[in-house]
Homo-oligomer: A and B are copies of this chain.
Amino acid sequence: MRELARRLASELPADAVSEGDSVRALHGQDESFHREVPPDLVLFPSSRSELVAVLSAAAELEVPVVPFGAGSSLEGQVIPASGGASIDLGRMNRILEVDPDSFTATVEPGVTRLELERKLAESGLMFPVDPGADATLGGMAATNAAGTMSARYGKMRPNVLALEAVLPGGRTIRTGSGALKTSAGYDLTGLLIGSEGTLAVISELTLRIRPIPDATCAVRITADSIGTAGEIAELMVATGIDASRIELLDEWEVEGLNRIRPGSLPAGSVILVELSGSEAAVASELADLKGLLSEADGLGLEVERSSAGQRELWRTRHDAMAGEQAMAPGRQCRSTDVCVPVGSLTETLVETRETIDRFGLGAGIVAHAADGNVHVGIMLDRDDPDEMRRGELLVEALAESALRRGGTCTGEHGIGLGKIRLLEREHGDSLDLMRAVKAAFDPDGIMNPGKVFEDALPSPTRNK
């Protein structure tokens, strides 16, 4: 490690190599519940050539490296659990090109999604993947991030057309192309997306961008229970209401939101819907939605067409984490997610609430309903070993339940440190193939070791 720092000191600017405690501490954690492990060294390349120098030296010295974007991963992906160096890509943050004629944008990996959003908005364009945090595009690709609009537009994978990536050792490859589709060889773009920094470091991305819809409209529906909310959402999906977002919050979440803004919501479970498209399409979908709901009783249907009104309605969703905190002061949130076939959404939601209660834990449920993605924020006292254990068992129970229904142990958050055993449970029959792919890209096992798979190879080389 000292050797790596010494060598890179001559190849990178002085301020691009840091062993300071505060810098290391900042790179030892993400937004997950996993324990902090500071890296031994933090590197800040500001160009591809500097990144090449880093990966060339790291491979030669067999030092583990962990790519770091905004630190907003949710399963410990950026935590250097096996030691080594953190590669902070925040200085590779240029938007290289926006091509409105071809609907593509090419960016460096450290550009955040809100920076890109602002730039694209100047041309009436948008990028449709919106995880909660202001993550970097590189990190979003590495974790195959999703968001509230994934049922319509897909996650990162179908929205990234091409990648440039630097392999351990410093070799640079380019995958995909600037065209919207290709059949040229194996899908290395899709393989790098979601590989959680275990194969290579993404150094450039070409994204598929879209026109901002002419019109949007937000609808808030209140249901008496999460079960009823699930049924309404399933009905919307089944009857083909073409919403761009269908978000659910359960009664516990709503109670939390009412604690931070008393009286702001009726008691119950909330469904937030966004319709978007042409003015005529939005009007037509809204009429269909109202027709669909007219037979249901007691749903406080609120429709907002103004920008300000829509922002206010969506605040409910954005404040969910604050609401969870208000329900359990002093506890910390362990966020977990599963994804089930959409037709199993309601039973999954109902069972999730029963399971939370059975474990005697405080937790809220939020769902991206249109693709069956259920998030649970479990509030835990780190100093209570029994509660911590029940939290762990709850995460496993939710995943087992999703797998039983033909779903997956994670729809968005990925494997990282937190779901390695669940990945073995879900895809044990092909893990050796995934490991062989890993070995092809990273023969010395220096790329983010200990993530996705249990065996970190090589063993930590802190003393080098």
Interface residues of A (CB under 8 A from B): 99-104, 143-144, 146, 150-151, 154-155, 157-158, 171-188, 190-191, 193-195, 211, 214, 234, 237-238, 240, 242, 277-281, 283-285, 288, 339-344, 371-373, 402-403, 405-415, 419, 422-423, 426-427, 429-431, 433-434, 436-441, 452
Contact = CB atoms under 8 A, between A and B. Distances in A.
10 contacts: A101-B342, A143-B183, A183-B412, A184-B419, A184-B426, A190-B190, A280-B283, A436-B436, A437-B440, A439-B440
B427 A175 contact: yes
Contacts of A155: 181, 183
Given A186-B191, A193-B187, A181 B341 contact: no
Nearest to A410: B183
A407 to B, nearest CB: 4
A102 B344 contact: yes
A342 B143 CA distance: 28
A186 B434 contact: yes
Contacts of A439: 440
Contacts of A412: 181, 183
Contacts of A431: 185
Copies in the complex: 2
Contact of A184 (B186, B427, B438): B427
B187 A343 contact: no
The 9 residue pairs across chains A and B that have the minimum distance between CB atoms: A101-B343, A280-B284, A436-B440, A178-B406, A102-B341, A102-B343, A179-B339, A182-B408, A190-B190
Contact of A373 (B181, B190, B436): B181
A67 B409 CA distance: 32
Contacts of A440: 433, 436-437, 439-440
A181 B146 contact: yes
Nearest to A409: B184
A415 B410 CA distance: 34
Contacts of A341: 99, 101-102, 104, 178-180
A186 B441 CA distance: 13
Contacts of A288: 278
A199 B188 CA distance: 14
A421 to B, nearest CB: 12
Given A101-B234, A280-B284, A174 B342 contact: no
Given A341-B104, A433-B173, A371 B409 contact: no
B103 A182 contact: no
Contacts of A175: 427, 430
A427 B195 CA distance: 20
Contacts of A188: 427, 430, 433-434
A197 to B, nearest CB: 12
A87 B331 CA distance: 59
A185 B427 contact: yes
Contacts of A143: 183
Contacts of A284: 278-281
A284 B81 CA distance: 55
A434 B185 CA distance: 8
A193 B405 CA distance: 24
Taking each of A102, A441, A452, which has the highest tally of chain B beta carbons within 10 Å of its own beta carbon? A102
B339 A182 contact: yes
Nearest to A167: B433
A249 to B, nearest CB: 20
Contacts of A104: 341
Given A185-B431, A280-B280, A343-B102, A408 B177 contact: yes
A453 B240 CA distance: 43
A372 B409 CA distance: 37
A150 B143 CA distance: 25
Contacts of A154: 154, 158
A411 B186 contact: no
A407 B181 CA distance: 9
Nearest to A452: B185
A321 B242 CA distance: 36
A256 to B, nearest CB: 26
Contacts of A237: 103
A155 B158 CA distance: 10
A157 B160 CA distance: 13
A157 B187 contact: yes
A176 B238 CA distance: 23
